[in-house]
Amino acid sequence: MCRIKRALVAVALSVPLFALCAESDSVSVKKNEFDLGLDFLAHGEIVRGGLPVTRNKQDDNQSNFLLGRTRIILGYKRQRLETRAVLQNLAVWGTEKNMEIGLYEAWAKMTAKIGVFGQVGRVALSYDDERIIGTNDFAMASLSHDVVIAGYEGHGHKVHAIFAYNQNESNVYKSTYYNDGAQNYKTMQTVWYHCDVPKFPLGVSLLFMNVGLQSGKPEESYNPPTTEYQQMYGGYLNFHPKYVRFEASYYRQAGKIVHPHYKAAAKIEAWMVSGKATITPSKYYGFVAGYDRLSGDDYVPVIYGGMAGLPFHAVNKGFTPLYGSRTKFYGILDYFYESAFINGFTPGLQNAFLGVNGKPLSKMDLSATYHYLAVATELSGLSSTLGHSLDIQASYNFTDYISLEAGYTVMFGTETMQRLKQANSSDVAHWAWISLTVSPTLFKTKF
């Protein structure tokens, strides 16, 4: 752990020195750019079904709310230097927390002539199709990471090395413990490589991630803090000839993780595979089809109730998408990897989907996607089918900075869904939403 901290400090200190040295070799006149932007999002939702039923009252199984997200964006550029800061306020309309403001992004990026760069600060990371690392922007709060990035981009190649080390302010003298903040990991190291094949519509990416997650508490001698490391590695392929786009990915998870209900560490042996084809014969319509399979635990209890008597899995085979944009892949209802299954284990997921999209007007887009959902492991006495869902979306761009989006999702769950998720609240779920986005550039200047 000390070696990791020393390495991170060395990288963080060397990045600005490297950039200054790279800039000093230029005698050209330096230009400065500054811009100030506003990103305002008003979002409303109506949910029926899919929520826990309390006190045997069906009326509890519903939710209606309006939510606002406001971001103030400041950007600055000059020769081989770029900085960005994004202040964010996110709150449900009517709550007392509407005046709270958080820092969503704040980073500086320094680049040399040869394409080598260094970036440090709070960054909204997005790689490939965002299956493993993405902003998850549809979730409103979005994801960002406190990281140091060293990389190279040029001649069809990109290499990013990402380092993170998180600490609780209240535990600065007990640096072994971390369980708070924008992301839940203590330490993270990631290497991402991407290559665009010359004169051929093919892009290939490789990813390796090492994540240290913690459990325990510093004040409990019988349950002291411990860090267990898990690894994610795999790749993404994007083949895009004219009118057609084929995407495929494969990832494996290894290492160890501490189960939330047990103190012993479990070994991880999980994987996922996906394939997707998008056909766009005309600018007015297109089609999409694909299949995702995420591995699950060998044995998943399907009894009702709590954890009493449930077995401990020495090997965890349930795949976790970590920090990806999940609503893009497993249905907009976001029903499987944002909320836990009732018994604490995961049966994995199969997602076969077929969709159509159209453009009836120059500023309007429509889409409809059907999902067949099933578990990826064998269940005793139950069908593997979880249910069927339909996502319908529409968007209209009034201007370059004003847009309106709306959607409706209905999911028909089976008995398997009811038993694995939230009893009789999961048979049918409806979700409707509407979002207005206003994102103008308020001020922009060069000096």
Domain spans of the chain? 2-21+37-446
What's the whole-number mean pLDDT along residues 131-154?
A: 91
Using DSSP, state whether 321 is helix, strand or coil: coil
Q: What is the mean pLDDT of residues 334-363?
A: 85
Q: What is the pLDDT of residues 282-327, one digit of tens each?
A: 999 999 999 999 999 887 666 544 444 455 677 889 898 899 988 8
The predicted structure's pLDDT at residue 4? 46
What CA–CA distance (Å, rounded) separates 410 from 431? 6
Q: How confident is the model at residue 78 (pLDDT cuts 50, 70, 90)?
A: very high
What is the average per-residue pLDDT within 346-364? 95
User: Of residues 24 and 422, which shows the higher confidence score?
Assistant: 422
What pLDDT, on the 0 to 100 scale, is given for residue 374?
Answer: 95
Question: Two tokens at 400?
Answer: 């370059």
Q: Identify the band that residue 8 occupies on the pLDDT scale cut at 50, 70 and 90.
A: very low
Summarize the confidence of residues 51-77 as an average pLDDT: 77
C-alpha to C-alpha distances, 202 to 129, 174, 250, 308, 399, nearest whole angstrom: 14, 48, 16, 51, 33
Contact 420, 347 (CB under 8 A): yes
According to the model, what pLDDT value does residue 136 have? 87
pLDDT band at residue 169 under the 50/70/90 scheme: confident
pLDDT at 96: 74
pLDDT, one tens digit per residue, over 382-435 is: 899 999 999 999 999 999 999 999 999 999 988 888 888 765 556 788 889 999
pLDDT of residue 53: 58
DSSP count for the chain of H helices, then E strands: 2, 21
CATH architecture of 2-21+37-446: Beta Barrel (2.40)
Predicted pLDDT at 259: 64
Q: Label residues 98-116 b or e (16+ Cβ within 10 Å = b).
A: eeeeeebbbbbbbbbeeeb
If one compares 183 and 292, the residue with the highest pLDDT of the two is 292
Backbone phi, psi, residue 419, to 5° = -70, -35
User: Average pLDDT of 190-206?
Assistant: 96
Give the global pTM: 0.86
What is the predicted pLDDT for the residue at 328?
Answer: 86
What pLDDT is attached to residue 29?
65
Lowest mean pLDDT, pick from 17-21, 115-119, 236-240, 313-317? 17-21
Secondary structure (3-state) at 416: helix
State the pLDDT at residue 21.
44
